[in-house]
A and B are shown apart, each in its own frame.
Chain A
Amino acid sequence: MSVLLEIATIIAPLFVIAGIGFAWGRSGMPFDTNMIGGLVVNFAVPCLIFSTLTRLEVDISDFGAAAGVFSLAVGANIVASAILLRLMRRDIGAFLPATVFANNGNMGLPLCLFAFGEEGLALGISIFVVSASANFLLGVSFVSGKLSLRETIKAPHLYVVMAALGFLFAEVQPPAWLANTTYIIGGMSIPLMLIALGVSLARLTVSSFGQSFILGLYRLGFGLGIGLLLSWFFELEGVARGVLILQCAMPSAVLNYIIAARYDRKPDEIAGLVVGSTFVSLATLPLLLLVAMQGPG
């Protein structure tokens, strides 16, 4: 009973806030996703990253380990997805990003925060930075068919992580004005991301699920499997294990749809993949949390 209550406590904020966005999207009231997205990507998330990392004094080795192990998961996922897509005779360039890159920001970060506290959020951010950078770099490259560093260099995440690591390495506290400013701006990111996620889910029109749905299930299942395998292999425990498993098993990122729409490569089917995997993931979230939170620590 207490475990169920704990899980309900973790997922309720996510459902309520994404639900507000969903209702907003369905009501037809205008919601300028470009404006909210611009504020979140350019200001709120960089501030959240900086504020969380410098405030918490995370162990840099843990931070690096989470990023490293997650990179292995992404690598394994790319190989497995390519094989699966070849077997299914699907367009690898169009579908691979959507089966590999998950919603580690919108959905992953609030889950890490509520399941494992601020320490979970810090490790979740480490994974999110790897995931977002790779999603910009490889996602755009696969879909557009040519290697493009532009989006990756333009995204502020990496620079902010470097600045935060600078403070951590020098063992200097950022000045109070900077800490307060980034804390308060960073506070917008999780709720705005969740509301925007809800709006996107309500607005994405899905013509037919079909094979996209199977690929969505693959995203969730393979993610969970590789997360469990890697955490077992590297003998991860407690928060590090839980965060890795959660982040690996997130549904396909909304960003994949945005990129697919921009380059017009099967946006409808990618939308089906994103929406399908997100709804399945929301329904199976309690089980995922049960797996991620049990075990040592």
Chain B
Amino acid sequence: MSLFAQLSAIICPIFICAAIGFFWKKTGQGLDPDLVTTLVYKISVPCLIIATFSKVVVTPQALASLGLASIFLLILNGILGALLLRIFRLPFPSYLPAMTFSLVGSMGLPVCLFAYGEEGLAHGLVVFTITSIGTFTVGAALAAGKVSVDKLLKEPAIWAALAAILMIWTGWKLPVWMSNTSWLLGGIAIPLQLISLGASLAQFEVSSLGRAFSLTIVKLGLGFGLGFSLAELFGLSGIPRAVLILQATMPVAVSNYMFAVIYKREPTEVAAMVIVSTAIAAISLPLILAWLLTGG
């Protein structure tokens, strides 16, 4: 398969699904965000985690080093992001979550899946789970001004991740009916996340695209640099390395916008960052993928 065909096989599904959501919303049809959130995050994502890890064989060591690398990715992203915001003289609560948390779910997971198969998806889920924990604790705390742990414990994805770790560690396998059920339910997550991403993009009210543009370029560059160096530092190679670099260079997560709306932290600015970074990803993502797939 030519590189172009290979790239379009990875990129097209993402943009087509998002386009469906975008036009769905633009044609005036409803997309109840609560329904989508419950279906995706309470039901489907936990099932996707369990189904993937009951199928894919990964060594605990490989997962541990990728997991550690993603924790460092978040921390360094936060620290360097804070430094940059100080230089730009911008307030932390509004901008820091957007600089730190990337679209590792709705965009990162399908990219990992289509570029590196189910093994790629499994590694992508590690980065995703750690980022989700970060989003729900630190991200919410930054925006709200207080930490909440009980919210985290209510997330079924956390329990699914613990179950997955247990399965990998002990080598236990799920009974067929359970893996069948979770595999089926897990199929909702990726397409529905992408459709709702498109629908969100369709309804955002944005402001100051110029500032969003420069912040986004800085964020993507920072992510790439961190992903690349952390992969070296933790001795990652092959799929884990590629997944870390890809996930580190994902655009600004939509959840940042949700938090900004809830806690009234300049949502239009964050929305602009989400839109601009997603548009830039349409160009930067194929370039990074091309570099990785040709042995970069």
Q: Are B31 and A35 in contact (CB under 8 A)?
A: yes
What does DSSP make chain B's interface, helix, strand, loop or mixed?
Answer: helix
The closest CB in chain A to the CB of B185 belongs to A191
Is A139 located at the chain interface by the 8 A CB criterion?
A: no
Q: Are A39 and B177 in contact (CB under 8 A)?
A: no
Residues of A close to B24: CB separation below 8 A: 38-39
Q: Are A176 and B8 in contact (CB under 8 A)?
A: yes
A177→B187 CA distance, assembly (Å):
18
Q: Are B35 and A176 in contact (CB under 8 A)?
A: no
Known: A9-B180, A17-B181. A32 touches B35 (CB 8 A): yes
Smallest distance from the beta carbon of B222 to chain A beta carbons, Å? 30
Among A107-162, those with CB < 8 Å from B are: 110, 114
Known: A176-B5, A181-B17. A110 touches B177 (CB 8 A): no
What does DSSP make chain A's interface, helix, strand, loop or mixed?
Answer: helix
Contact of B188 among A110, A177, A188 (CB under 8 A): A188
Residues of B close to A39: CB separation below 8 A: 24, 195
Smallest distance from the beta carbon of B176 to chain A beta carbons, Å? 5
A180→B121 CA distance, assembly (Å):
14
Residues of A close to B16: CB separation below 8 A: 181
Interface centre among B17, B31, B38, B180 (most CB of A within 10 A): B180
Among B167-190, those with CB < 8 Å from A are: 175-178, 180-181, 184-185, 187-188, 190
Is B233 located at the chain interface by the 8 A CB criterion?
A: no
Q: Are B35 and A185 in contact (CB under 8 A)?
A: no
Known: A43-B20, A175-B5, A180-B114. A187 touches B187 (CB 8 A): yes
Known: A12-B177, A180-B12, A185-B191. A35 touches B32 (CB 8 A): yes
A35→B16 CA distance, assembly (Å):
18
Known: A35-B31, A177-B13, A181-B12. A191 touches B177 (CB 8 A): no
Q: Are A30 and B34 in contact (CB under 8 A)?
A: yes
Known: A9-B176, A13-B181, A180-B114. A32 touches B30 (CB 8 A): yes
Smallest distance from the beta carbon of B151 to chain A beta carbons, Å? 19
**Tally of chain B residues near chain A (CB < 8 A):** 39
Among A218-242, those with CB < 8 Å from B are: none
- Residue pairs across A and B with CB atoms within 8 Å: the count is 94
The closest CB in chain A to the CB of B114 belongs to A180
The closest CB in chain A to the CB of B110 belongs to A184
Residues of A close to B188: CB separation below 8 A: 187-188, 191-192
Smallest distance from the beta carbon of A120 to chain B beta carbons, Å? 14
Interface centre among B12, B24, B31, B185 (most CB of A within 10 A): B185
Is B283 located at the chain interface by the 8 A CB criterion?
A: no
Contact with B along A252-279 (1 / 0, CB 8 A): 0000000000000000000000000000
Interface centre among B6, B38, B176 (most CB of A within 10 A): B176
Is A245 located at the chain interface by the 8 A CB criterion?
A: no
Contact of A185 among B17, B44, B175 (CB under 8 A): B17
The closest CB in chain A to the CB of B190 belongs to A184
Contact with B along A38-58 (1 / 0, CB 8 A): 110001100000000000000
Among A1-50, those with CB < 8 Å from B are: 8-9, 12-13, 16-17, 20, 29-32, 34-36, 38-39, 43-44
Closest 10 CB pairs of A and B: A187-B187, A176-B9, A177-B12, A12-B177, A13-B181, A181-B13, A177-B8, A9-B177, A180-B13, A32-B32
Between-chain CB contacts (< 8 Å), 19 pairs: A9-B180, A12-B178, A13-B184, A16-B181, A20-B43, A30-B34, A32-B32, A34-B30, A43-B20, A175-B5, A175-B8, A177-B11, A180-B10, A180-B13, A181-B16, A184-B13, A185-B17, A185-B20, A188-B192
